[in-house]
Structure 1
Amino acid sequence: MILVTGGTGLVGAYLLLDLLQKGEAVRAIYRSHSNIQNTKKLFEKHRQTALFEKIDWFEADITDIPRLSKAFKDVEYVYHCAALISFDPDDEELLRKTNIEGTANVVNCALDFKVRKLCYVSSIAALGDTKEGETLITEETDWNPEKLHGDYAITKFGAEMEVWRAAQEGLKVIVVNPGIIFGSGFWNNGSGQICKKIAGGFPFYSKGVTGIIAIEDVIRIMTALMNSDLAGNRYTLVAENLSLEKILFTIADGMGKKRPAVYAGPLLTAIVWRLDWLFSKLLFRSRSFTKATSKSSHSQEIYSNKKIAQELNYSFISMEEYLLNLGKEYTN
């Protein structure tokens, strides 16, 4: 039996589809029954409704140890995809509880139930920080606690520490650090919100560079690593490093929408994150743009995929064509 946490999210849903198409027996953890519909729609899109019915859904929260432990009965392999994604500083406590404490609970259960192997889905946000004059980030780049990091990045890094601690206690683990993951069908979450903003006429762009990858590549690599003898390693999953300008323009072209026309330089984003802080206090709303977000929107750092490309002899999907098609699909 394979256990998938976060089975109603983008990574979890695509992973469930892939595993079931390969004939695996899977159990998926969910928190809200309504979110299961997102996964069901993905299976329906691929005409795999019959496979969807084979999922052993299990209601649990990764922060609830007694309930979570019951999900591990007869489980041999675990894909830990569940996480809270938020860039609002007010969510710091919830981020820590979900991403760090929740991951600690998952790996502890894996140890207790003698799970054979666990794959943890981290993020490039948890990778290290370049030194002055450097631009390339690899799996070996050191994390600098003195540098500015958002709470999401800090908690994903903390979650990795729990995974490595479990590895020291005998659990076979694989950690993957994907860039921004693009995929269709989950328009209200993650990268799907980028498509929604562009469709709504979002006017701003910046020239910072980030690593991106298609969901299909993420799933293929994760399952290949889990089916291999490799363990105790982390892998950066980035197909290409593209500027935010290129990403937004390409999706807009695919949608047949006007490209964002206002360049948001460092001065403008510095003003915006301060105004966002002020309005969040005055209007009692969540933050949507922070100092850390502002910094990342101008970053020129490059993420290396050399390790995973060589390890698996892997060729990635071309992201420019993928983003164009994603934009087309969003409008259909």
Structure 2
Amino acid sequence: MILVTGARGHIGNTLIYELSKIFPKERLKILVRSPKGNDHIKDLVSQIVIGDVKNYQDVEQAVEDCQYVFHTAGIISLGKKLTQELYQTNVLGARNVIDACLKHGVKRLIFTNSVEALKTPKTGKITEELETDINNVKGAYAKTKILASQEIEKGRQRGLDIISVFPSAVIGPRDYRGSYSRKIISYYRSKFFLKFYFKGSYNFVDVRDVAAAMISAMSSQYGNQDYIIANQKKDIKYIAKLIGEFSNAKSIYIRLPLFLMYAFGFLINGIFKIFGKNCVFNPYSISILQRNCNFDTQKAINQLGFQPKDLNQTIQDTVNWAQDNKGRL
């Protein structure tokens, strides 16, 4: 059996979709938190385990009888506050999955990490070298991924074969739950005539490429490895205009000064917090778009056959998918 945790998420449901092209549904099992909202994946698998990665008993029930486990469950946060829910899901959840895999003799665990857990020099290529000190990063999500990476190292030392993949910002079709990337796409494909952007860039990778790399990692001859799964650095203006072009959105694009974006992000984020919502553009997320995002993917290319799609094609496919599924989103 093959288990995918977090199967309702963007990476998780895409992974199940791609696995179903290779393996019969009788070999596929998922762990999700709710019996609702699984219509797009329920017919692709033979077993749906309802549970939470924070609960060891739930995880153990899901892992039992599995030879391979893909752990994609997690919470992504653009804030600085390390909440109990974030820690327990991303760190304790990782520990529970590792412990259950060890107990039930899983052959290999493929773990969805993040480039946020890597050391980031101001210039040059970013490699798979892990950051070890959570005090060196500001974001709460990054801190949890560093701590989860430490759990991975402990699991390897105890004898579990763990492949850890580090995707950059994931984008692509099948984004049913509304990731931060989809919110950005929704804004730039909207009918607003004036669209704002600011100086900044990041590295976006196609979710289908992430899934393909993870599937390749499952049967790879290389065990206990770390792989960056990323694409090319693109600036926000380029992304915005590309989304508008594929959406047939006739807009004027206005660049805002960075200091104004920080002020705007601070204000809007404060308003969102009052209503218990998360804002895509806040001072921390803006700062992420100012830093180095030149990731070295050569190891994944050499060992996993990683071949990232052209970003133009990814954005076009994503926009088309969003238009075709607007009644379901």
Q: Could you say whether these structures have the same fold, taking a TM-score greater than 0.5 normalized by the shorter chain as the test?
A: yes
Distance 2:215 2:287 in 1: 34
TM-score normalized by structure 2?
Answer: 0.89
| 2:35 pairs with one of 33, 36, 58 | 33
Contact 1:195–1:330, Cα closer than 8 Å, also in 2: no
**Percentage of matched positions with identical amino acids:** 24
1:86 lines up with 2:70 in the alignment: no
1:116 alignment partner in structure 2: 107
Please state how far the C-alpha of 1:147 moved relative to its aligned partner.
Answer: 3.8
Distance 1:8 1:141 in 2: 28
Please state how far the C-alpha of 1:280 moved relative to its aligned partner.
Answer: 4.5
Please state how far the C-alpha of 1:85 moved relative to its aligned partner.
Answer: 1.5
Contact 1:276–1:287, Cα closer than 8 Å, also in 2: no
1:295 alignment partner in structure 2: 287
Contact 1:128–1:144, Cα closer than 8 Å, also in 2: no
Matched position secondary structure for 2:87: helix
| 2:167 pairs with one of 173, 178, 182 | 178
Please state how far the C-alpha of 1:98 moved relative to its aligned partner.
Answer: 0.4
Please state how far the C-alpha of 1:89 moved relative to its aligned partner.
Answer: 4.3
TM-score normalized by structure 1?
Answer: 0.88
Please state how far the C-alpha of 1:27 moved relative to its aligned partner.
Answer: 0.9
How many residue pairs are counted as aligned between the two chains? 318
- 1:271-327 C-alpha deviation (Å, 9 max, x unpaired): 12321354356x343341433212112224311212211223433211112212322
Distance 2:110 2:321 in 1: 30
1:275 lines up with 2:267 in the alignment: yes
1:209 alignment partner in structure 2: 201
Structure 1 runs, 4 residues or longer, greater than 6 Å off: none
* 1:14–1:260 CA distance, 2 compared to 1 (3 A): farther
Farther-moved stretch of structure 1 (90-99 vs 75-84): 90-99
| 1:169 pairs with one of 158, 163, 183 | 158
1:196 alignment partner in structure 2: 186
Contact 1:7–1:30, Cα closer than 8 Å, also in 2: yes
Distance 1:256 1:168 in 2: 53
Q: CA RMSD in A?
A: 2.2
Structure 1: unaligned runs, 5 residues or longer: 41-51
Distance 1:259 1:81 in 2: 37
Matched position secondary structure for 1:35: coil
Distance 1:151 1:90 in 2: 6
Contact 1:251–1:326, Cα closer than 8 Å, also in 2: no
Distance 2:64 2:214 in 1: 23
Contact 2:17–2:44, Cα closer than 8 Å, also in 1: no
2:7 alignment partner in structure 1: 7
| 1:64 pairs with one of 29, 42, 55 | 55
1:149 lines up with 2:102 in the alignment: no
Please state how far the C-alpha of 1:155 moved relative to its aligned partner.
Answer: 0.9
Please state how far the C-alpha of 1:234 moved relative to its aligned partner.
Answer: 0.8
Structure 2: unaligned runs, 5 residues or longer: 325-329
2:18 alignment partner in structure 1: 18
Distance 1:207 1:304 in 2: 23
Matched position secondary structure for 1:286: coil
Distance 2:8 2:66 in 1: 19
2:327 alignment partner in structure 1: none
Please state how far the C-alpha of 1:136 moved relative to its aligned partner.
Answer: 2.2
Instruction: Give, as a single letter, the amino acid of the residue that structure 2 aligns with 1:197.
Output: Y
* 1:310–1:277 CA distance, 2 compared to 1 (3 A): same
Distance 2:170 2:56 in 1: 29
